[in-house]
């Protein structure tokens, strides 16, 4: 008999909650020039909450609480780990950025931890209500974080756009959820799954409900045509926040989608299959084509992350209804998310590092970087080509898993989507290679040699090293990540 | 199996990578240290290659030897499986030797913007990719190595290349990536249809169970990947640009080894795993191959740039190789593998020469050159020698790649349209005449006559030390393989027989289904003669 409250299972969330309260209180008593302490405290909190995630993983037992609404299983643990590591790397990236930009630090850490708390809850949520609560908990702090450079108009725009479209998406999603609840009479995903498999599941009302819920999450993961907020928000937000949004927040959206689709809506692949097919094809293609024309590195990465979301959607589109294909598809999505997190965070960390050197986020300012800062150029190239999926960098395995899911499904529509993905990976190479081209082949802009050597601060270096090691390690020995992805499959 | 035997191939593949990592640790200023490390790495790798040569059992060259097979990515059932047979061995050695010679040649020939540290590190990474591709016996491992060569070559062309280098670099990259994206889809289809394995020998054993229609489709995917790399007409357009813009060493590696990755892929993977697919595609491959031969030759006649001319001649030569492969006979494939090696030696050498000529005259424009034999007689003679080898003069290596390939088209595998292939044979023979034409004309314009006015007063120094060291092995190889083709045919034949056996009858079954009568004629005796 499991106790009513399993404190071990809830420990990551509890530690985060205590930590974020502490951060808020300590911030009041720390002098203005020593705010780094607060960020350090937040970092320690994240690391501390990783400990119970690990002990739970070693323990290995699946736990469920609150009538099955909250589950701690391999899936939940793996994604909690992913969110926490992402949060930690984001904090590493933010320390100097906030300090030097003279932005509020304590509140930043507080909001970031709150958002992280929402994400860890999301990974365990097996009930449409707890999914919704988690989603709001992770989104609302993110709306605020996007506007953190409050003296900058772009940042204001970023925050407002993100907020308005995010709330609209929540509304659409909630309406869809209410329709499903109306038919099923339960908010529990497993019960929804059972009912949708019966004749009730064929009701048009359910079809509309599923459609609306998925559209709502399509906003969250910035799938085309619901992506319009992403580029402006990504460009306007402070760069560490952009990294956090494009990785953690997007991953949270996918986590919710996986739980909904692979548990709740499992029987209705006739609704979500074609929908995801269209979303995936559009998202990859539109994201990549617009990314080709970008001249600002962050905006380019914004469109690139839209396109990457398209690849992650591909397995959803081809999963179909055979258990085996579903398992492969889900494992592919999880693996892709994990690898994408490492390489995209790394790319943003390098954007920050290079901006300290060149003083600009315009691609044209990257000229000649290889000549005066070869290390920065080489590492940035590694992340770019990893995003493009060139072996032996991690991205190749992510793409490989997607193609594997496509071919395993084997249907004509799946293979067509696979070919679309293949063509897209060639288009994507063009703009990723363009960054490398600028750094390696172009001459340095005027006066760059006079600029004194700017050191990359320790925290930022740590962020780069963590992500680089993961990206390279996964590329050379993908077995570890693939096994984790396999273990975390929800469908058995 | 003793310790070293199980490590030899791994060392051959990863030593260069280790060397590259070492080079990264050396500060940029100590150039001699960088060059020494690169030289030692390439040298030791070649010594490992020599050891492999002694350990290789030539009596059973059809068997995979020095086998290493350990788990790599369990989840997708992909293994670190490397081994080599009679087809891999010559290409692996070619790749090692070319790498070493490139390091030697670049000792004092660094193109702008100099930076030997980055250049040599990239060259060594490239070597790991090339060596690995030739020994990989697992499709995923093959794919990773196959792709590993892209990045270093991209940077080599883009950083050290000519005026139009940025365009050439990205074009090269995009073309190849497009092919390999479709190729990986084909690999995955093989995995699911071929009993959930990526292991090449296992797939060869299982592959023939795949339905013919599916084989044709999958072969299409693999064809795109390999044909772009070869490159076959009409996917060749990246090659002249890449060759023209690449620095000398880049061109040499590209021509001598990297183009072979594509043809090797056909021989190692596409043909034996998908015999019926190959039979269906063979007439198309043969057709594109002879178009390539003629198109490449005509392209050569129109070139004014020495390097671009050699690049187009590569298109033509790889056409001969592909024609040999398209016949699906042991005879044709033997010729193709010989063609790969001889093209590697000869064209690699020609690009070295083009690089040295450019360095001396500051131009590669054929019209501005002339009288090379007067100003630098040794350089001129070597150029003449290589031109002769390239046009397929009997007694030199080029002949054994070209002539048997043409001859093999006389008698393609049973079931293939004999009339069509004999037509190909005629066209290919015209190609050899054109080859003689453009090579001799090029030689006439650059080497004969008197020096042009602008270079008359200029002192052109003749071949010097590092060049001799770098070139001598290639020149010796061209003669040796020309006089004793059996040296190579004996090694490849065993492995080629194995491939031909898996192909055997596939064309006939395909043909029986379409209702035509297979025509079988007696085997041409030349392969046996050449082999002895």
Q: What is the pLDDT of residues A101-117, one digit of tens each?
A: 777 888 899 999 999 99
Question: What is the DSSP secondary-structure string of A238-276?
Answer: -HHHHHHIIIIIHHHHHHHHHHIIIIISGGGHHHHHHHH
Return the exposure string of A297-324: e unless at least 16 CB atoms fall within 10 Å of the residue's CB, then b: bbbbbbbbbbbbbbbbbbbbbbbbeeee
State how far the alpha carbon of A113 is from the alpha carbons of A17, A72, A124, A196, in Å.
8, 20, 17, 36
pLDDT at B508: 54
Q: Which residue out of A379, A427, A433, A484 would a mutagenesis test of the B interface target, given it has the greatest number of B Cβ atoms within 10 Å? A: A433
**Residue B81: band (very low, low, confident or very high) from pLDDT cuts 50, 70, 90:** very high
Separation CA B141–CA B67 (nearest Å): 14
Residue A451's pLDDT band, with cuts at 50, 70 and 90, is low
Strands B65-73 and A63-65, by their bridges, are: unpaired
Contact predicate A175/A212, CB 8 Å = yes
Instruction: For residue B72, give the nearest of A392, A406, A479 by CB distance.
Output: A479
ipTM attached to this prediction: 0.89
User: Which pLDDT does position A321 carry in this prediction?
Assistant: 64
Rounded Cα gap, residues B123 and B131, in angstroms? 12
Residue B509 has pLDDT above 70, yes or no: no
What's the alpha-carbon Rg for chain B, to the nearest Å?
A: 22
pLDDT score of B516: 39
Average pLDDT on B336-355 reads 93
Chain A residues with CB-CB distance to B185 below 8 A: 403, 406-407, 415, 418-419, 422
CB contact under 8 A, A396 and B144: yes
Least CB–CB distance from A437: residue in B73, B147, B166: B166
Residue A190, Cβ neighbours under 10 Å: how many?
15
Shortest distance, CA A164 to any CA of chain B (angstroms): 39
**Which chain B residue is nearest to residue A386, measuring alpha carbons?**
B151
Partner residue facing B173 (CB), from A429, A441, A479: A429
Q: What is the dihedral of CA B489, B495, B498, B502, to 10 degrees?
A: -100
Task: Tell me: pLDDT of B88 over 50.
Answer: yes
Of A470, A469, A475, A383, give the one whose Cα is nearest residue A433.
A383
* Among A408, A426, A479, beta carbon nearest to B178: A426
CA distance readout (Å), B487 to B15, B400, B480: 27, 12, 8
- Hey, is the C-beta of B516 within 8 angstroms of any chain A C-beta? no
**CA-CA distance, B8 to A415, in Å (whole number)?**
40
Between B143, B166, B181, which is nearest A441 by CB? B166
Q: What is the dihedral sign for C-alpha B183, B185, B186, B187? A: positive
Average pLDDT over residues A7-22: 92
Q: What is the mean pLDDT of chain B?
A: 87
CA-CA distance, B198 to B188, in Å (whole number)? Answer: 8
| CA proximity to A416, closest of A307, A281, A303, A221 | A281
**For residues B238 and B172, is the Cβ–Cβ distance under 8 A?**
yes
Instruction: For residue A282, give how far its alpha carbon lies from the nearest alpha carbon of chain B (Å).
Output: 19
A423 vs B contacts (CB less than 8 Å): 178, 181
B275, β-bridge pairs = none
Q: CA of A396 to nearest chain B CA: how many angstroms apart?
A: 9
The residue-averaged pLDDT of A385-399 equals 91
Task: Choose from B16, B148, B184 for mutation: most chain A CBs within 10 A.
Answer: B184
Instruction: Kindly state whether B295 is in contact with chain A, defined as any CB-CB distance less than 8 angstroms.
Output: no
Q: Are B170 and B124 in contact (CB under 8 A)?
A: no
Alpha helices in A389-411 (DSSP H): 395-409
Percent of chain B with pLDDT over 90: 47
Does B246 reach chain A within 8 Å, measured CB to CB? no
How far apart (Å, rounded) are the C-alpha atoms in residues B35 and B249?
A: 15
- Tell me what pLDDT residue B525 has: 44
- Coil, strand or helix: which one is A487? helix
Degrees to nearest 5, angle at CA B259 with A370 and B284:
135
**pLDDT > 60? residue A259:** yes
Interchain CB distance below 8 Å, B159 and A440: yes
| Closest-CA residue of chain A to B186 | A407
What pLDDT is stored for residue A283 in this prediction? 94
**Closest C-alpha to A324, from A492, A98, A138, A193:** A492
Residues of A whose CB is below 8 A from B174: 426, 429-430
DSSP string, A5-33: S-HHHHHHHHHHHHHHHHHHHHHHHS-GG
DSSP B230: T
Distance CA A347, CA B457 (A): 55
pLDDT, mean of residues A231-242: 91
Mean pLDDT lowest among A112-121, A370-379, B236-245, B511-520 = B511-520
Which residues in B lie closer than 8 A to residue A441 (C-beta atoms)?
Answer: 158-159, 165-166, 169
DSSP letters for B41-107:
HHHHHHHHHHHHHHHS-GGGTTS-EEEEEEEEEGGGTEEEEEEE-TTHHHHHHHHHHHHHHHHHHGG
Over residues B115-165, the pLDDT tens digits come to 888 999 999 999 999 999 999 999 999 999 999 999 999 999 988 888 888
Q: Write out chain B residues lying below 8 Å of A430, CB-based.
A: 170, 174
pLDDT level of residue B515 (50, 70, 90 thresholds): very low
Band of residue B529 on the pLDDT scale cut at 50, 70, 90: very low
Token pair 């490590």 is found at: B7
Are B75 and A486 inside 8 Å of each other by CB?
Answer: yes
Asked if the C-beta of B261 comes within 8 angstroms of chain A's C-beta atoms, the answer is no
Q: Return the pLDDT at A447.
A: 62
Neighbours of B107 (CB within 10 A): 17
The number of residues in chain A equals: 492
Q: pLDDT class for A65, splitting at 50, 70, 90?
A: confident
Residues in B closer than 8 angstroms to A434, CB to CB, are 170
CB contact under 8 A, B154 and A406: no
A380 DSSP assignment:
H
Inform me whether the C-beta atom of residue B193 falls under 8 Å from chain A C-beta atoms. no
Q: Which residues of A touch B179 (CB under 8 A)?
A: none
CA dist A365 to A145, A442, A480, Å?
27, 10, 38
pLDDT the model gives residue A462: 92
Phi, psi of B274 (to 5 degrees): -120, 65
Q: What's the pLDDT score for residue B507?
A: 54
- pLDDT tens digit string along B268-305? 999 989 988 899 999 999 999 999 999 999 999 988 89
């Amino acid at each position: 008999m499991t106790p009513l409250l399993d404190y071990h299972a809830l420990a990551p969330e509890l530690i985060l909650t205590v930590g974020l309260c502490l951060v808020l209180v300590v911030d009041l008593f720390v002098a203005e020039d020593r705010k780094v302490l607060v960020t350090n405290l937040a970092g320690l909190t994240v690391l501390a909450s990783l400990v119970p995630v690990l002990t739970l993983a070693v323990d290995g037992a699946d736990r469920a609480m609150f009538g099955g609404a909250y589950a701690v299983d391999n899936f939940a643990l793996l994604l909690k780990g992913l969110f926490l590591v992402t949060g930690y790397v984001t904090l590493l990236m933010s320390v100097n950025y906030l300090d030097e930009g003279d932005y509020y630090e304590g509140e930043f850490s507080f909001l970031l931890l709150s958002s992280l708390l929402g994400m860890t809850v999301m990974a365990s949520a097996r009930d449409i209500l707890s999914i919704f609560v988690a989603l709001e908990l992770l989104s609302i702090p993110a709306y605020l974080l996007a506007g953190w450079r409050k003296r900058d108009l772009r940042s204001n725009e970023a925050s407002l756009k993100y907020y308005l479209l995010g709330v609209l998406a929540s509304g659409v999603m909630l309406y869809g959820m209410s329709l499903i609840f109306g038919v099923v009479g339960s908010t529990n995903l497993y019960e929804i799954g059972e009912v949708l498999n019966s004749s009730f599941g064929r009701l048009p009302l359910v079809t509309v409900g599923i459609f609306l819920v998925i559209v709502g999450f399509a906003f969250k993961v910035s799938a085309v045509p619901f992506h319009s907020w992403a580029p402006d928000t990504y460009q306007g937000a402070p760069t560490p926040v952009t990294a956090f949004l494009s990785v953690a927040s997007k991953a949270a959206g996918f986590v919710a989608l996986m739980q909904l689709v692979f548990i709740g809506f499992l029987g209705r692949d006739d609704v979500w299959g074609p929908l995801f097919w269209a979303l995936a094809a559009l998202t990859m293609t539109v994201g990549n084509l617009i990314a080709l024309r970008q001249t600002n590195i962050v905006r380019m990465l914004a469109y690139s992350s839209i396109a990457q979301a398209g690849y992650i959607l591909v397995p959803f589109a081809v999963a179909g209804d055979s258990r085996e294909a579903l398992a492969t598809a889900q494992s592919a999505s999880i693996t892709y998310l994990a690898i994408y997190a490492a390489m995209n965070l790394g790319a943003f960390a390098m954007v920050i590092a290079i901006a300290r050197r060149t003083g600009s986020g315009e691609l044209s300012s990257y000229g000649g970087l290889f000549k005066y800062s070869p290390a920065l150029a080489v590492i940035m190239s590694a992340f770019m080509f990893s995003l493009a999926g060139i072996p032996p960098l991690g991205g190749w395995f992510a793409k490989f898993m997607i193609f594997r899911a496509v071919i395993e499904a084997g249907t004509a529509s799946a293979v067509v989507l696979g070919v679309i993905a293949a063509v897209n990976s060639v288009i994507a190479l063009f703009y990723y290679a363009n960054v490398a081209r600028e750094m390696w082949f172009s001459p340095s802009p005027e006066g760059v040699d006079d600029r004194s050597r700017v050191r990359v601060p320790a925290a930022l270096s740590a962020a780069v090293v963590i992500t680089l090691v993961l990206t390279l390690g996964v590329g050379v020995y993908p077995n570890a990540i693939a096994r984790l992805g396999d273990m975390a499959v929800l469908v058995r | 199996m003793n310790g070293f035997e199980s490590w030899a191939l791994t060392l051959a593949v990863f030593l260069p990578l280790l060397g590259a990592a070492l080079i990264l640790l050396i500060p940029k200023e100590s150039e001699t240290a960088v060059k020494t490390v690169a030289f030692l790495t390439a040298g030791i790798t070649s010594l490992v290659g020599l050891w492999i040569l002694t350990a290789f059992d030539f009596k059973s060259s059809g068997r995979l030897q020095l086998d290493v097979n350990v788990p790599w990515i369990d989840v997708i059932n992909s293994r670190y499986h490397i081994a080599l047979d009679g087809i891999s061995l010559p290409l692996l050695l070619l790749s090692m030797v070319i790498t070493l010679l490139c390091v030697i040649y670049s000792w004092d020939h660094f193109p702008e913007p100099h930076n030997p540290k980055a250049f040599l590190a990239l060259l060594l990474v490239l070597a790991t990719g090339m060596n690995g591709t030739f020994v990989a016996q697992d499709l995923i491992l093959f794919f990773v190595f196959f792709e590993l060569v892209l990045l270093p070559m991209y940077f080599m062309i883009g950083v050290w290349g000519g005026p139009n280098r940025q365009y050439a670099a990205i074009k090269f990259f995009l073309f190849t990536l497009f092919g390999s994206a479709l190729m990986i889809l084909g690999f995955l289809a093989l995995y699911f249809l071929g009993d959930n394995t990526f292991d090449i020998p296992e797939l060869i054993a299982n592959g023939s169970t795949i339905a013919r229609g599916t084989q044709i489709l999958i072969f299409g995917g693999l064809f795109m990947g390999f044909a772009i790399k070869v490159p076959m007409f009409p996917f060749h357009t990246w090659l002249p640009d890449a060759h023209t813009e690449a620095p000398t060493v880049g061109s040499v590696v590209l021509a001598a080894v990297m183009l072979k990755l594509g043809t090797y892929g056909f021989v190692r993977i596409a043909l034996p795993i998908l015999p019926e697919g190959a039979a269906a595609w063979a007439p198309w491959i043969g057709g594109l191959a002879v178009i390539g031969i003629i198109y490449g030759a005509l392209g050569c006649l129109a070139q004014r740039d020495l390097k671009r001319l050699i690049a187009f001649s590569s298109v033509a030569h790889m056409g001969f190789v592909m024609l040999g492969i398209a016949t699906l006979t042991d005879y044709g494939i033997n010729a193709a593998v010989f063609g790969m090696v001889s093209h590697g030696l000869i064209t690699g050498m020609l690009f070295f020469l083009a690089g040295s000529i450019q360095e001396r005259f500051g131009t590669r424009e054929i019209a501005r050159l002339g009288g090379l034999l007067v100003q630098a007689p040794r350089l001129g003679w070597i150029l003449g020698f290589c031109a002769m080898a390239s046009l397929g003069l009997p007694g030199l290596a080029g002949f054994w790649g070209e002539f048997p390939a043409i001859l093999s088209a006389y008698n393609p595998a049973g079931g293939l349209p004999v009339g069509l292939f004999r037509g190909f044979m005629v066209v290919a023979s015209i190609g050899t005449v054109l080859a003689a034409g453009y090579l001799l004309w090029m030689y006439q314009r650059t080497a004969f006559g008197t020096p042009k006015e602008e270079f008359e007063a200029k002192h052109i120094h003749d071949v010097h030390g590092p060049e001799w060291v770098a070139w001598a092995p290639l020149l010796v190889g061209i003669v040796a393989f020309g006089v004793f083709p059996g040296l190579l045919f004996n090694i490849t034949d065993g492995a080629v027989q194995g491939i031909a056996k898996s192909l055997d009858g596939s064309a006939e079954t395909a043909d029986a289904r379409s209702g035509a009568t297979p025509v079988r004629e007696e085997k041409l005796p030349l392969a046996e003669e050449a082999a002895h």
